[in-house]
Structure 1
Amino acid sequence: MAATLRAGLLGVGMMGRHHARVLRELDGVELVAIADPGGDPHGVAGDLEILPDIDALIDVGIDVAVVAVPTRYHEDAALKLAEAGVHTLVEKPIAHTIEAGQRMVDAFAEKGLVGAVGHIERFNPALQELRRRLAAGELGAVYQIQTRRQGPFPSRISDVGVAKDLASHDIDLTAWVAQSDYTAVFAQTTFKSGRDHEDMIAITGRLESGVIVNHLVNWLSPMKERVTVVTGEKGAFVADTATGDLTFHANGTIPLEWESVSVFRGVSEGDVTRFAFPKREPLRVEHEAFRDAVLGLPSDVVTMEQGLRTLVVVEAALDSARSVGALSV
């Protein structure tokens, strides 16, 4: 690669340590500085000094930055990086409020910089393969997209609830897979773990294309599940983003002889196919997309505008959960 980008990393916690590893392995990028006021708990700095804050990181002289600190600190860091002319990838969600996210979007647009958000699920090999097959028309018309993202509570999360931390993944990947924005959402939440933020959310909604969506997300399950099901004209795709597997359940083509079943005019069970395809690490693919966007190359990077749109949908779901009353039947 012709250019070598000087990269800085803010935050080397649970996610930041992985960013450090990938940045060191990425062609065309050199990790030159790390900042974290909490030090280096995972020992990823190597020969680099751990700087105290974002200002010290900027002073080193960097072309690109990755922000992997708690959500409430995203805006301050991003605005300083934009002012310094640094292309920036912030972890999801983009910000703690819609207003903060909008200020970030505006700052990077005004400076003509690449501002990106780390919605990593878009780069999962199962979803990338699913998107390619949908674009090729293998499912025909899409009717419904449902996701399940369940598992135990991660103690590292303290400043947001399950909607912003996890449901934001599902909202972003659903709009991207369907290539259509949300027009309506309705949600219910629960608070079972004694925290200020919700630990379970059930969302239903509709996209501009007419596709119905459902998301079940929680931190209350002992089993970990990361599943996206896309149902359409020719069958259903099932993407397991925990394993990177993609399976297609085709509608049946064999006529049914059994009279009591044949009067049903719906679909029948057909062939089931699990696809084989390259499975690259999502974080590496995400970083390649960000690097390419900075270099002006074709890229599938998740823009700050897209990250903000996802936050708007998440907030609308939370507003719905807060405002709805019990339905009498």
Structure 2
Amino acid sequence: MSKLRAGLIGLGMMGRHHARVLSSLDDVELVAVADPGGDRFGVAGGRPVLNDVHQLIDAEIDYCMVAVPTQFHLEVGTALAEAGVHALIEKPLAESVATAEKLAAEFTNRGLVGGVGHIERYNPALQAARARIEQGELGDVYQVATRRQGPFPGRIADVGVVFDLATHDIDLTAWVTQQDYVSITAQTAHKSGREHEDLVAATGLLSGGTVTNHLVNWLSPLKERSTVITGEKGTFIADTLTADLTWYANGEVQTTWDDISRFRGVSEGDVIRYAIAKPEPLRVEHEQFRNLLQGNEDADVVTLEQGLQTVRVAEQCLRSARGETPVPLA
């Protein structure tokens, strides 16, 4: 089988990592990269550094990794679709529902493969949590609570914290529980003087009755990435910074020593931090997209429809924060 000819557009903070992975991916040849600002991180590795998506298309690529700012996804994605080029597009799919719908249609209507780079799905801790939930180890899922906070990244200028960060939590929550969002409400704040919000607190309801809440900000010196999944048999805590998954089981042994009971509670059970393999999530993401292009229908790729649904939920967060009437999500 001949290698897939890949291109990369966007050589910023994320683009440089995509270049590294694509350069070493089996059955894939990274033939050229493109960025109007040039190769400031020096990741091209001797490959042509082109100016725009049209020159990249002329290099006869089979598919393209799109790592440009969100506001340019529609322009770049449309050009690729019109040329018959498959694309993996960095999250979020677009900056609005209307734009995301147009972009998804460009690929779907032409029978092209499109994917969205929601990388948290490929974090080993969340992969293990989803598998264990699917096997019934948690029982009914009652609640998913996420915390995602840290200092402001200077590279982000075109969207706020909802579209840049909260979309991670929206997608991973729907994916790990295998439920859709039914509704979501949110409050936002603008504390850093930027046009876009830098803090959001959101509460949602999923189709299986699971309640979710997401606390996300760009205002903390502490970098935190935590997903707490509580169900009838206990709680999973996934730390996606370290890719650790810890299980807190409900207790089955009664604590008869009153002092310990008052201190620790009466339902404390086993606590296990699982030993799991920890491949790099970005590499797994690219491997899955490659596998799909090679005809593996079981490849785990975030579809354009799933990316669109995440944009719907994110947009509803912002509508809710403005006091607008909620719209149905599912």
Alignment partner, residue 249 of structure 2: 250
More displaced, 251-260 or 189-198? 251-260
What is the distance in 2 between the residues matched to 1:36 and 1:108?
22
Alignment partner, residue 49 of structure 2: 50
What is the distance in 1 between the residues matched to 2:316 and 2:307?
14
What is the distance in 2 between the residues matched to 1:164 and 1:283?
19
Matched residue of 1:134: which SS? helix
Instruction: Note if 1:152 corresponds to 2:169.
Output: no
What is the distance in 2 between the residues matched to 1:302 and 1:66?
14
What amino acid does structure 1 have at the position aligned with 2:315?
A: E
Alignment partner, residue 6 of structure 2: 7
| TM-score for the superposition, normalised by structure 2 | 0.95
- Give the deviation of 1:281 after TM superposition: 0.1
What is the distance in 2 between the residues matched to 1:211 and 1:41?
45
Q: How many residues align?
A: 322
What amino acid does structure 2 have at the position aligned with 1:232?
A: G
Alignment partner, residue 309 of structure 1: 309
Matched residue of 2:13: which SS? coil
What amino acid does structure 2 have at the position aligned with 1:204?
A: T
Task: Please say if residues 199 and 219 of structure 2, whose CA atoms lie closer than 8 Å, have aligned partners that are also in contact.
Answer: yes
What amino acid does structure 1 have at the position aligned with 2:30?
A: L
Alignment partner, residue 106 of structure 2: 107
- Give the deviation of 1:259 after TM superposition: 7.5
Write out per-residue CA displacement over residues 258-279 of structure 1, whole angstroms, 9 at most, x where no aligned residue. 679999xx97111110000110
- Give the deviation of 1:111 after TM superposition: 1.1
Alignment partner, residue 34 of structure 2: 35
What is the distance in 2 between the residues matched to 1:31 and 1:193?
39
Alignment partner, residue 133 of structure 1: 132
What is the distance in 2 between the residues matched to 1:260 and 1:247?
26
What is the distance in 2 between the residues matched to 1:83 and 1:89?
15
- Give the deviation of 1:257 after TM superposition: 2.9
Task: Please say if residues 143 and 212 of structure 1, whose CA atoms lie closer than 8 Å, have aligned partners that are also in contact.
Answer: yes
What is the distance in 1 between the residues matched to 2:5 and 2:260?
65
- Give the deviation of 1:85 after TM superposition: 0.8
- Give the deviation of 1:294 after TM superposition: 1.1
What is the distance in 2 between the residues matched to 1:293 and 1:3?
15
Flag structure 1 segments of 5+ consecutive residues without an equivalent.
none
Task: Please say if residues 6 and 29 of structure 2, whose CA atoms lie closer than 8 Å, have aligned partners that are also in contact.
Answer: yes
Task: Please say if residues 255 and 266 of structure 2, whose CA atoms lie closer than 8 Å, have aligned partners that are also in contact.
Answer: no
What amino acid does structure 2 have at the position aligned with 1:309?
A: Q
What is the distance in 2 between the residues matched to 1:267 and 1:163?
38
Instruction: Note if 1:119 corresponds to 2:118.
Output: yes
Alignment partner, residue 89 of structure 1: 88
Identity %: 61
What is the distance in 2 between the residues matched to 1:57 and 1:36?
10
Instruction: Note if 1:323 corresponds to 2:300.
Output: no
- Give the deviation of 1:97 after TM superposition: 1.5
What is the distance in 2 between the residues matched to 1:8 and 1:312?
29
What amino acid does structure 1 have at the position aligned with 2:129?
A: L
Matched residue of 1:319: which SS? helix
Instruction: Note if 1:60 corresponds to 2:59.
Output: yes
Task: Please say if residues 162 and 201 of structure 1, whose CA atoms lie closer than 8 Å, have aligned partners that are also in contact.
Answer: yes
Taking only aligned residues, the RMSD between alpha carbons, in angstroms, comes to 1.7
Task: Please say if residues 251 and 267 of structure 1, whose CA atoms lie closer than 8 Å, have aligned partners that are also in contact.
Answer: no
